[in-house]
Amino acid sequence: MLAARAGAKEVISCEKETLVAEAAREIIERNGFNNKIRVVSKDLESVELGKDLSEKADLLVSEIIDNGLLGERVIPLIKYAKKKLLKRDALIVPGQVAARGALVGANSALRKYQIDSVCGFDLSPFRRFYPPTVPMGKISVEEHILSDPVDLLHLDFQSGPVTEQGRRLMEIAVREDGRAAGLLQWIRLRFDHDLILENHPGAPSKTWSPVCHLFPEPVPVKKGDLFHISVEFDDEHLYIEPKGVAGKT
Ligand SMILES: C[S@@+](CC[C@H](N)C(=O)[O-])C[C@H]1O[C@@H](n2cnc3c(N)ncnc32)[C@H](O)[C@@H]1O
């Protein structure tokens, strides 16, 4: 509706869930955009040029980003749209997306996953059943963030080739002594040159909340250490693995 209101000649809205698509049609009608917006109720990857879309589009606006960035399959979906449905110079919004991260110490939001000792019994073998990523509520940044933030993954949908997998090793500068329980991850979306949304844990945000990639066990760190991690992604997940701590920065 924003695109239609801003003057787009024709808007095709793609929604795979039938009930959501029905509600979207109702909303479009209520707001008087029936003659400009058409809802195609199918999976984007089965939308066909010449059938669902009369010509390739000039603009793609999407929100298929979850808290962990990749879980709603944004990479393959944008790749499909670029290949089949968009003009070569089409504008993509958001055009660049990133996963950002920082080391996080043990805190109340993570306590329920820290089941080493209960009533004096060592239950640490249950650690192997931890989910690899867990949702994080609000935490105090000053108290719990142990490192500088880093870009874990940066995807340029607008200008770059859309890659569906990759792996790299990186180092993170530790700035507080503590025990790193995992890597806190949040997202940054660039909508245009000036407009950026980043749900850093310290930022007031009503939208996505950060997630935490739990380490198999907490790693003691000291200010000045370099913490090594492996960052791997496929078309749906980001995998973080701690690789140890090296000397002073
Ligand atoms: C995160 S929601 C968007 C919410 C909306 N932008 C808002 O702010 O209220 C993503 C929507 O995209 C739809 N969706 C996800 N993957 C899709 C796909 N492959 N094809 C079509 N629709 C899809 C989901 O059903 C869901 O309704």
CATH number at residue 149: 2.70.160.11
Q: pTM (2 decimals)?
A: 0.90
Identify residue 93 by its one-letter amino acid code. V
Nearest atom in ligand 1 to 45's CA:
19
Contact yes or no for 213/240 (Cβ under 8 A): yes
Distance CA 180, CA 157 (A): 32
For 196, how many CA atoms within 13 A lie in the half-sphere containing its CB?
A: 11
pLDDT at 129: 80
**Domain range spanning residue 224?**
96-248
Ligand 1: residue whose CA is nearest its atom 4: 63
pLDDT at 118: 82
Inside any domain, residue 55? no
Q: Which ranges of the chain have pLDDT less than 50? A: none
Distance CA 82, CA 210 (A): 28
Inside any domain, residue 29? yes
Bridge pairing between strands 225-233 and 166-173: antiparallel
Pair 128, 226 in one domain: yes
Structure tokens at 244: 């140890």
User: What are the tens digits of pLDDT across the range 213-230?
Assistant: 988 888 999 999 999 999
Pair 117, 229 in one domain: yes
pLDDT at 170: 96
Inside any domain, residue 68? no
Q: Domain total for the chain?
A: 2
Inside any domain, residue 37? yes
pLDDT at 134: 82
pLDDT at 102: 95
Largest Cα–Cα separation, the chain: 68
For 96, how many CA atoms within 13 A lie in the half-sphere containing its CB?
A: 16
Ligand 1: residue whose CA is nearest its atom 26: 15
pLDDT at 60: 98
Inside any domain, residue 62? no
Distance CA 140, CA 187 (A): 18
State whether residue 111 is helix, strand or coil.
Answer: helix
pLDDT at 172: 97
- Among 15, 28, 69, name the best residue to mutate to test ligand 1's pocket (greatest count of ligand atoms within 8 A of Cβ): 15
Inside any domain, residue 63? no
pLDDT at 200: 85
Contact yes or no for 197/140 (Cβ under 8 A): no
Inside any domain, residue 11? yes
Q: Tell me how far the alpha carbon of residue 55 lies from the centroid of ligand 1, in angstroms.
A: 22
User: What are the tens digits of pLDDT across the range 86-137?
Assistant: 999 999 999 999 999 999 997 766 777 767 778 888 888 887 787 778 878 6
